[in-house]
Amino acid sequence: MAAEDLQDIGKDALAAAAEAASKAPERVLNQDEIDSLLGFEIDEESIAERHGIDAIVNSALVSYERLPMLEIVFDRLVRLMTVSLRNFTSDNVEVSLDNVSSIRFGDYLNSIPLPAILAVFRAKQWDNYGMFTVDSNLIYSIVDVLLGGRRGTAAMRIEGRPYTTIELNLVQRMIEVVLQDVQAAFEPLSPVTLEFDRMETNPRFAAIARPANAAILVRLRVDMEDRGGRIEMMLPYATLEPIRELLLQMFMGEKFGRDSIWESHLATELWSTKVSLEAVLDEQKLTLRDVMNFEPGQTLMLNNGPDCTIDLRCGGVRLGTGRMGRVGNHVAVRVEQGIRHAKRGEALAAALKTSDETIPAGGK
């Protein structure tokens, strides 16, 4: 067969295939199938589970909404920062909470817009670290306000140069003020001491957690009339793990679950509680052999005389001293010296806790 005949047969086959393809109906995905493939639904609240790519992306992240007390802490932080930054800058400052979200630590470091200042702090009781990110707008605004810039004019930004020592020191002072507010915000829930660790301008040097670790990102907006910027607080979930049980409890009121009515009732009942008071006549050290050889009718000689003072104890805690006497047919104790008022609460609390200690020899 000649080459020209083969070319004609190939052209006829291609033409036939193109004609068959043109007659076949086209298969186009509708919007519902596209949403199902990508994992997006129109009404996400009515669907308990996610599907597709969206389920894969969101499977490893923990939502901060599972910690109800955390939002209350951040709302308290906003109120505290508004007052403290007003005193710090002597200007009209408004602090607002933009949003709270969960994000991977590595993704957050890659998304930080530069130039910025990153301040690393250490939570002493939780034995872990956190981080503040201050954007350039807030940095220049704080410097302008603290150094006497005129109101009504935006802070002048100078691009292409590193931050000076004066700018870094002023921002560090602001971070220390914010750290005190964070301590006060967490104090009703769990007292913690936040210590300023270091300040970085390169995100690579502020690695306080592994890139794949989940963290909570709190975005705060600071407005000073026509100036201001954003400060972000990053808390890895490992930092909040020691107080996770406290963050899981439900919010009961502005006092973090405290009930003043119940406290007053409890205090009233405690004053009328009956406790056993022990008058310790003497204490002696004996061997176990001597104790096991005790017999009925045996007399134990005490070292204290009629003029000696004896200890008054409750649950093993010394409450005061007194002298032994007699009133009619009863043995009595006259209190000579009581405990000081400042230590009464500590002594009573210790007496209630020590309920399994050995009762020393003496009369009640």
Helices (H) and strands (E) in the chain, counts: 12, 10
Question: What local confidence, expressed as pLDDT, does residue 363 receive?
Answer: 43
Q: What percentage of residues in the chain have a pLDDT greater than 90?
A: 1
Cβ atoms of 107 and 214 closer than 8 Å: no
Sign of CA dihedral 11, 17, 21, 24: positive
Specify the length of the chain in residues.
364
Q: Is 67 left (phi over 0), alpha (psi -120 to 50) or beta?
A: beta
Stretch among 45-49, 71-75, 106-110 having the lowest mean pLDDT: 45-49
- Overall average pLDDT of the 256-279 stretch: 79
Domain 276-293+301-364 is classified in which CATH homologous superfamily?
SpoA-like (2.30.330.10)
Phi (first) and psi of residue 337, to 5 degrees: -145, 125
Residue 53 has pLDDT above 80, yes or no: no
**Whole-number mean pLDDT of the chain?**
75
Question: What local confidence, expressed as pLDDT, does residue 206 receive?
Answer: 81
Stretch among 93-107, 161-175, 191-205, 298-312 having the lowest mean pLDDT: 298-312
Stretch among 2-16, 211-225, 288-302, 333-347 having the lowest mean pLDDT: 2-16
Residue with tokens 């003043």: 260
What is the CATH topology of the domain spanning 67-247? Chemotaxis protein chec (3.40.1550)
Residue 288 has pLDDT above 70, yes or no: yes
Cβ atoms of 137 and 126 closer than 8 Å: no
Strand partners, 218: 100, 233
Pick from 199, 335, 345, 332: nearest CA to 270: 345
Cβ atoms of 121 and 243 closer than 8 Å: no
Q: What percentage of residues in the chain have a pLDDT greater than 70?
A: 68
Domain range summary for the chain, segments of one domain joined by +: 36-60, 67-247, 276-293+301-364
Confidence of residue 309 (pLDDT cuts 50, 70, 90): confident
Residue 143 has pLDDT above 80, yes or no: yes
- Overall average pLDDT of the 38-66 stretch: 51
pLDDT digits (tens, 9 = 90+) for 8-33: 665 666 566 566 555 545 566 666 66
Residue 242 has pLDDT above 80, yes or no: yes
Residue with tokens 């894969």: 56
Question: What local confidence, expressed as pLDDT, does residue 238 receive?
Answer: 85
Residue 282 has pLDDT above 50, yes or no: yes
Stretch among 17-21, 71-75, 141-145, 235-239 having the lowest mean pLDDT: 17-21
Question: What local confidence, expressed as pLDDT, does residue 277 receive?
Answer: 83
Confidence of residue 362 (pLDDT cuts 50, 70, 90): very low
Residue, of 154 and 106, whose pLDDT is higher = 106
Distance in Å from the first CA to the final CA of the chain: 127
Residue 43 has pLDDT above 50, yes or no: no
Residue 45 has pLDDT above 60, yes or no: no
Residue 258 has pLDDT above 70, yes or no: no
